Amino acid sequence: MSIKTWLAVASDKQIVTRSLKISLIVGSLLTLINQYEIFIGETQITTAQFLKIVLTYMVPYAVSTYAAVSTKLNK
């Protein structure tokens, strides 16, 4: 399997849509758990916290995409 094939499958509309939905749900829950003090007004958001929040959404997207592509290519 080539990188080109993997990226082509990963850019499939169904996979992207499903991964985005999972990322929004899981990322939002994890952000609320890990960064709750920002949302209740205890602290201001810093650049480091912003980057953590971005990564909190990126990781579930990447995991979901990897799982979906692996499943599709192994069929």
pLDDT digits over 11-63, tens only?
Answer: 999 999 999 999 999 999 999 999 998 888 888 899 999 999 999 999 999 99
**Spatial separation of the C-alpha atoms in residues 32 and 58, rounded to whole Å:** 15
Other CB atoms within 10 A of residue 49 CB: 16
Instruction: Give Cβ neighbours of residue 50 (< 8 Å, ≥ 6 apart).
Output: none
pTM above 0.85, yes or no: yes
